[in-house]
Chain A
Amino acid sequence: MSDDSQFCITTRDLSLWYAKFQALKQVNLNIRQGLITSLIGPSGCGKTTLLRCFNRVNERCGYVTTTGEIRILDKNIYDPDVSLISLRKAIGMVFQRPNPLPISVYENVVFGLRIHSEGGVKKSELDAAVEVALTEVGLWTDLKDRLNDKAVGLQLEQQQKLCIARLLPLKPEIILMDEPCSALDVDGTRAIEELMFSLKGRYTMVIVTHNMMQARRSSDECIFMLMGEVVEHSRTEELFLTPKNAKTAEYIEGRYG
């Protein structure tokens, strides 16, 4: 493997159990740096579970066991000396339902900076970070006069953009998105997809989606999962045009889902 450095996330024999139930089986993946990789598969196949392994939020439930390894930027994130806090700082996550915190728009964006800086940050730095982050997600013109409004009062599309914006000040390497558009309408979906394109290259993005058209439109590589296993992983057009596995072919033809 000469181009190992191009891989941002590498898993080796990753298995995960919820109590006795095995949700991931021997997952081996190489996810490339700087690209958008989509995770598709029928409901319950373990997409969310896999995504939540990458920032180790699965461990919130005490009954989860994980074996195998995940190397992110050449470090096994299950090593005992890994700091969960800096891991999660480097890996942002966007959830299925927009979940801005019940504080102002401004405070949502600077939340990460506040919790990751010991002595407090200068107001001017915070202001600058808010402007940059909101501009990047295309909310600045709409919200610059409403920074002190409650974030939970925004439209869903704006909330989801805000949830992306609040990751940016921490300069993450990776952004994980779990069905980021499933709560949004057509326009909202388009807006978020456009946003993903504009962020591409600077961040490695992994998105879970139920929507095959979305996977096709927006991702460079695509992973098809079934019953906790990775069935196929290839470039998106290859996977959709010339699937190697019969099950993949059946799924993308819509025979089950």
Chain B
Amino acid sequence: MTDEPKPTRARRSPLALVTERVVEVLIHVSGFSAILFVFGIFFFVFKEGAPFLSKLDWMQFLFSSEWIPTSSVQPKYGAWALIVGTMSVTVLGMLIAVPFGLGAAVFVSEFCTGRLKETLKIVIELLAAIPSVVWGFIGLKVMSPLIISVFQVPVGVNLFNAAILLALMSVPIMVSIGEDALKAVPDTYREAALALGATRWQTIYRVLIPAGRNGLLAAVLLGVGRAIGETMAVLMATGHAVKIPHSIFDPVRTLTATIAAELGETSQGSPHYQVLFLIGVLLFSITFVVNLAADLIVKGVRRQ
């Protein structure tokens, strides 16, 4: 046969080849830059805080709740109350968000079809796109008066208020990732259970949740990551008081909000400035661990 097609490469113009090379290199660069940026950020945050490491009283930093960084006599850098603040807001937020988020994921994936499903997914994505400062407004102007009148408490900006905001912010992530996880469960499992006479609910809790367990867990962890790192909404809605909360209606302050509120007022290189950066490192480590856990779990899903 004489009319065999020529290899395509020969027909390409030199320009096309060059463009291809360039695009290839650009893609590589952007891939590596992601890694570079993460390490770069960590490095710079750490570098700013590092000089204070040797002077830092670790016991005080981690276990004292006296945060008096601006005292001219004897500044104290006890971040314990801030850590407790972050943890309590996150934990309470997740206690609210996880049932709603996973419930909604199950609802969207297993009970909705066609139009309703598409609409819900779009609404949920919109919810995820609301800037956190807007959530902060809602916390201040809507939730706060509501909490005061419903629960008869003196202040409406508190742990509970911020936890609800965090829940509202992380639910969309949990729903969309959780829905993906359920969608990834092969339909043959549903049919098998259905043909054995299982009800929809039995299929969900006996088959789908165990089968999609890892993906659902990853959804929860990504939601947690989102919640821990959140700044603006919690800055506006927690009440911003450095104290260990005794009830869910006590105001608290979080690590993130502290950095956001105080960094602008410190002079560069001062101990206060450096401690704030160490708080940043602490936060970074927490979110890193959470995300890493989520990642490893997702990998586990793929391997199955």
Contacts and interface: CB of A to CB of B under 8 A. Distances in A.
Interface string A93-106: 10101011111000
A217 interface: no
B194 A88 contact: yes
B197 interface: yes
B191 A99 contact: yes
Contacts of A84: 197
A84 B195 CA distance: 10
Contact of B189 (A89, A99, A116): A99
B202 interface: yes
Interface string B82-102: 000000000000000000000
A167 B196 CA distance: 7
Give the secondary structure class of B's interface: helix
Contacts of A55: 195
Contacts of B195: 55, 57, 88, 92-93, 95
B206 interface: yes
B193 interface: yes
Contact of A114 (B188, B189, B194, B206): B206
Given A57-B195, A116-B197, A97 B206 contact: no
A115 B197 CA distance: 8
Q: Give the interface size bracket for B toward A.
A: 10 to 19
A60 B194 contact: yes
A88 B211 CA distance: 23
A88 B197 contact: yes
B198 A115 contact: yes
Interface in A31-71: 55, 57, 60, 62
Interface string B7-50: 00000000000000000000000000000000000000000000
B192 interface: yes
B192 A101 contact: yes
B90 to A, nearest CB: 32
Interface string B209-252: 01100000000000000000000000000000000000000000
A210 interface: no
Interface string A59-87: 01010000000000000000000001111
A97 B186 CA distance: 12
A180 B217 CA distance: 35
B192 A99 contact: yes
Contacts of B189: 99, 101-102
A112 interface: yes
B290 interface: no
Nearest to A176: B195
Nearest to A166: B196
B199 to A, nearest CB: 7
B113 A88 contact: no
B127 interface: no
B202 A102 contact: no
Contacts of B196: 88-89, 92, 111-112, 115, 166-167, 170
B124 interface: no
A167 B195 CA distance: 10
A158 B211 CA distance: 21
Interface in B37-86: none
Nearest to B202: A115
Contacts of B186: 99
A99 B206 CA distance: 15
B207 interface: yes
A62 B194 CA distance: 15
B207 A112 contact: no
Given A95-B188, A99-B189, A114-B206, A62 B113 contact: yes
Contacts of A60: 191, 194
Interface in B122-178: none
Contacts of A166: 196
Nearest to A55: B195
Given A57-B191, A95-B188, A95-B191, A101 B197 contact: no
B258 to A, nearest CB: 45
A28 to B, nearest CB: 25
A97 B206 CA distance: 21
Interface in A153-179: 163, 166-167, 170
Interface of B: 113-114, 186, 188-189, 191-199, 202, 206-207, 210-211
14 contacts: A57-B195, A60-B191, A60-B194, A85-B197, A86-B197, A99-B189, A101-B189, A101-B211, A102-B211, A111-B196, A111-B206, A115-B193, A115-B197, A163-B192
Interface of A: 55, 57, 60, 62, 84-89, 92-93, 95, 97, 99-103, 111-112, 114-116, 163, 166-167, 170
Closest 10 pairs (CB-CB, A-B):
A88-B197, A99-B188, A93-B195, A89-B197, A102-B211, A99-B192, A85-B197, A115-B198, A115-B202, A112-B196
